[in-house]
Amino acid sequence: MSATATMTEQREEHLVIFTLDGEDYGVEIALVNEIIRRQEITQIPRALSDVEGVINLRGKIVPILDLRKRLGLPSLETTGATRIVVVEIRENTVGLIVDGVKGVLRLEASLIEPPSPLVNRSEDDDFVRGVGKHEGSLIILLNLERTLRLEITGE
């Protein structure tokens, strides 16, 4: 491993790109455990409204977050493209329901800008840590800790 290689890695972000309500979103690939099809979800009564329920992921109970609800987007019926992106961050494994997954992408750090009120609806600012430009389209980079309410629980 040469110094230049490390430098390159630092200047690039490796992302999983998924779609929600017609927009492209990205999360760091390092945080993504797997991507699965939507399966039967057991509702949790009295849980927060955007918590869809739990699933059995190979013997593990994994909570599922309806990302549309969480981000204040209108609900959508499950389609064939619907996927659950299972992320793991600080020992919390959570599945995110997304409209579809596009693939992975390497994005140069120079193409990522901090969130700007011009490109985001103000109430979503909290969830966005940056906006990346790729082939003329914009990719919203999610702040997962914020999205999963991890800082609120005081960890």
Residues that bind other proteins (CB under 8 A): 38-47, 51-56, 59-61, 63, 65, 77-78, 92-94, 148-149, 153, 155
Q: How far is the CB of 31 from other proteins (least distance, A)?
A: 14
% helix / strand / coil in the chain, to the nearest 5? 20, 50, 35
Task: Please say which residue, 7 or 48, places its beta carbon nearer to other proteins.
Answer: 48
Q: In Å, how far from its chain's centre is CA 135? A: 21
Task: Please say which residue, 2 or 58, places its beta carbon nearer to other proteins.
Answer: 58
Residue 102 gets the label, from left (phi > 0), alpha (psi -120 to 50) or beta, of alpha
Task: Please say which residue, 46 or 110, places its beta carbon nearer to other proteins.
Answer: 46
Q: How far is the CB of 85 from other proteins (least distance, A)?
A: 15
Alpha carbon distance 130, 140 (integer Å): 6
